[in-house]
Amino acid sequence: MIAIDKFCYTSRLRYVNASEKFALAVITLLICIAGQSFVISAAVLAVMGVLTVRKGGLPFSRYRKMLMWPLGFLILSTLAIMINVSRVPLDLFAVPLGGWYITGSAAGALRTARLIVTALAGVSCLYFLSLSTPMTDILTVLGYCRCPRLIIELMLLIYRFIFVLLDIASAMTTAQNARLGNKDFRTACHSFGQMASALLLRALKKSNALYDAMEARCYDGTIRVLKEDYPPKAREIAAIAVFEFILLILLAGRLTGWVM
């Protein structure tokens, strides 16, 4: 089971109009990375966090853990950006090492700190969208955005098949574990390979059977499903507009230099 998907179906924001949520997440995300500023990022992080936790009903401890997921990437690349190896020491710190220095500058540290908060705020926007809007609703919005029908159809099918295959894969992994298939590194590699090839085989068999079934029911290249419609509410649109307006003012402030 995919954790994010499970939470999103139980979110209290699930039945809010999907286009509203999509627009809020994407516009905020763009302003946030265009600004790269402490103030904008803090505002975005706070608003998105409150929306996901208070309005959406996700436990805060889960949310905090989820924000930690991309930490590995964040730590490593931040190290790479901040720390320099050079013959001349920079102003913030410098550790001499033979003829060289492991060194960093104050401007670099400030830039890196900005990058970290921006990235976290970006992740909070992404989480707001994915923890409140089921994939099928996102696909409907993509349809309004003139994404080719073929791609949307393909995504819909892939989304469905992911769960079918995950089920099969977890059953096979359990069977392998029960037979000591993961007892050491060598067997684990071998087992994973066997599991993956058996999985592909099963997937192909299933796809053949599925195609026959769909053909028998007059499949002509599109799957037609009933759309559930939740009309946008004026109050929500107004709130989103006010929030984005404030962010835009802050962005203008950042570009002219009076906001950090």
Partner 1 sequence: MKKTEKRTVALAAVFALTFGIAPAANAMHIMEGYLPVQYCVIWGILCVPFLAAGFFSIRRTINEHRKTMILLAMSGAFIFVISSLKIPSATGSCSHMTGTGLGALLFGPSAVSILGIIVLVFQAVLLAHGGLTTLGANTFSMAIAGPFVSYGVFRLLKKCRVNRRVSIFLAAALGDLFTYCVTSFQLAICYPSEAGGVGASLIKFLGVFAPTQIPLAVIEGLITVAVMIGLESYASPELKELRFIGEEK
| Position 59 contacts partner 1 (CB under 8 A) | no
CB under 8 A: which stretch of 1-9, 12-20, 54-62, 236-244 binds partner 1?
1-9
Least separation in angstroms between residue 152's CB and partner 1 is 10
| Position 88 contacts partner 1 (CB under 8 A) | yes
Site for partner 1 in 133-162 (CB under 8 A): 135, 138, 148, 150-151, 153-155, 157-162
The CA-atom distances, in angstroms, between 7 and each of 40, 87, 132, 195, 247 are: 27, 51, 8, 28, 28
What does the block give as tokens for 29? 């995300």
| Position 130 contacts partner 1 (CB under 8 A) | yes
| 19, 38, 84, 114: residue in contact with partner 1 (rule CB under 8 A) | 84
Site for partner 1 in 99-118 (CB under 8 A): 103, 105, 107-108, 115, 118
| Position 38 contacts partner 1 (CB under 8 A) | no
Residue 20: CB atoms within 10 Å = 19
By CB under 8 A, how many residues form the interface with partner 1? Answer: 88
Of the pair 190, 233, the CB lying nearest partner 1 is at: 190
Cα–Cα distance measured from residue 36 to residue 38, given in angstroms and rounded to the nearest whole number: 7
Of the pair 9, 234, the CB lying nearest partner 1 is at: 9
Show Cβ contacts of residue 146 under 8 Å, excluding neighbours closer than 6 positions. none
| Position 73 contacts partner 1 (CB under 8 A) | yes
Cα–Cα distance measured from residue 131 to residue 54, given in angstroms and rounded to the nearest whole number: 13
What does the block give as tokens for 26? 């994407």
| 33, 42, 237, 259: residue in contact with partner 1 (rule CB under 8 A) | 33
Least separation in angstroms between residue 20's CB and partner 1 is 17
Of the pair 33, 237, the CB lying nearest partner 1 is at: 33
| Position 240 contacts partner 1 (CB under 8 A) | no
Of the pair 61, 234, the CB lying nearest partner 1 is at: 61
Least separation in angstroms between residue 12's CB and partner 1 is 19
| Position 165 contacts partner 1 (CB under 8 A) | yes
Site for partner 1 in 217-236 (CB under 8 A): 219, 221
Look at strands 93-97 and 84-86 and give their pairing.
Answer: unpaired
Least separation in angstroms between residue 15's CB and partner 1 is 19
Binding mask 190-209 for partner 1 (x = CB under 8 A): xxxxx-xxxxxx-xx-xx--
Amino acid present at 32: C
DSSP bridge pairs for 85? 102
